[in-house]
């Protein structure tokens, strides 16, 4: 439990400690989630730890991915100017904001009542916070990152500094982030 | 007349329920992890190449934008993995609960309200 206390204050700035922080947090989440599920079992009820699949969110992300890849292809070719892509940047950023609203309105599952009572009785505030954190779906964070990548691509393009190398990097980063979001959303189809 | 299960019968049923519910998901998660790590590694190497090629010579502060994107990708990767783990745990536990309820119903010979 020493590591839990050590990393309780948030993500450390030191890179090495940050890696240790991620590993410790993942292990801790697994243990706590097993407890959550166990509490559900003891309570004799089916546990619900993740949100329902929402086809509109999945389809929205898929559409954004298609639009963004077309935009990146244009930027990578270097054949057209920023002016011809300006509206496409605004459209993709707007689509990302729209899906973010849908994700926010979907809500987050609450921990099983028995576990909440158990943790309240024990009085372990940190464990309660970690359980709540573990139940936060990752999609909202992915969309924030997708928006950041697209906004940086737009800014770099507008400033005339979108070299082939930078365009390649932004495109691959966007695709990697999108793969995370789509994999999670698809996993909710259970 | 209710039939009592033989020793180990319920455990076998629970084990089967757990395995059936996650076999495909484990493969999916394994593929996701490998794909993500390869992609993130490739991006890291690309950034090193860009720096070595002098891409940021006239605006070194811009490097922080790219390293920031890499950091976000790693953080969100671990969060996504955690999210997928949550879904897996939920599936396994509900499958086990369902199998257990079924076994009790069979042994008791009466229908029980589903959890």
ipTM score assigned to the predicted complex: 0.85
Q: Look at residue A170 and tell me whether its pLDDT is greater than 70.
A: yes
Q: Closest residue of B to A13, CA-based?
A: B71
> Looking at chain B, which residue has its C-alpha nearest residue A37?
B93
Contact B115 A179 (CB under 8 A): no
On whether the CB atoms of residues A132 and A110 are closer than 8 A, the answer is no
Percent of chain A at pLDDT > 90 equals 54
Q: What are the domain boundaries of chain B?
A: 9-108
Residue that is written with structure tokens 């700035």 in the block: A13
Q: What is the model's pLDDT at position A34?
A: 59
Residue B46 to residue A183, Cβ atoms within 8 A: no
Q: Is A161 helix (H, G, I), strand (E, B) or coil?
A: coil
Entry pTM:
0.79
CA distance A157 to A95: 20
Nearest to A39 by CA among A114, A109, A110, A111: A114
Series of mean pLDDT values for 10-residue runs along chain B (115 residues): 70 80 82 96 97 95 97 97 90 84 81 67
Q: Determine the distance in angstroms separating the CA of A48 from the nearest CA of chain B, rounded to an integer.
A: 6
* Cross-chain Cβ contact A176/B115 below 8 Å: no
Q: Over the stretch A86-106, which tens digit does the pLDDT of each residue have?
A: 999 999 999 999 999 999 999
Number of other residues whose CB lies within 10 A of the CB of residue A128: 18
CA distances from B109 to A21, A75, B114 (A): 51, 68, 15
* Cβ contact A179–B85 (<8 Å): no
């Amino acid at each position: 439990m020493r590591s839990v206390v050590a990393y309780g204050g948030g993500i450390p700035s030191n890179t090495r400690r940050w890696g240790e922080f991620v590993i410790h947090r993942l292990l801790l989440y697994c243990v706590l989630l097993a407890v959550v599920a166990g509490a559900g079992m003891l309570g004799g009820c089916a546990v619900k730890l993740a949100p329902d699949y929402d086809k509109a969110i999945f389809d929205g992300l898929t559409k954004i991915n298609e639009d963004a890849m077309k935009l990146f292809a244009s930027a990578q070719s270097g054949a057209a100017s920023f002016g011809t892509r300006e509206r496409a940047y605004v459209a993709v950023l707007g689509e990302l904001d729209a899906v973010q609203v849908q994700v926010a309105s979907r809500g987050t599952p609450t921990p099983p009542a028995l576990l909440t009572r158990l943790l309240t009785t024990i009085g372990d505030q940190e464990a309660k916070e970690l359980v709540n954190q573990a139940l936060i779906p990752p999609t909202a964070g992915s969309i924030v990152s997708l928006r950041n990548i697209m906004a940086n691509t737009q800014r770099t393009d507008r400033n005339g500094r979108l070299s082939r190398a930078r365009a390649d990097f932004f495109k691959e980063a966007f695709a990697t982030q999108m793969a995370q979001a789509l994999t999670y959303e698809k996993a909710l189809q259970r | 007349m209710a039939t009592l299960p033989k020793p180990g019968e319920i455990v076998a049923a629970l084990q089967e329920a757990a395995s059936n519910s996650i076999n495909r998901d484990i493969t999916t998660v394994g593929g996701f992890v490998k794909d993500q790590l390869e992609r993130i590694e490739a991006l890291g190497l690309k950034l090193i190449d860009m720096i070595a090629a002098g891409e940021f010579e006239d605006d070194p502060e811009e490097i922080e934008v790219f390293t920031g994107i890499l950091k976000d990708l790693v953080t969100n990767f671990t969060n996504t993995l955690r999210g997928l783990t949550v879904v897996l745990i939920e599936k396994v536990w509900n499958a086990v609960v369902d199998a257990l309820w079924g076994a009790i119903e069979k042994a008791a010979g009466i229908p029980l309200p589903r959890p």
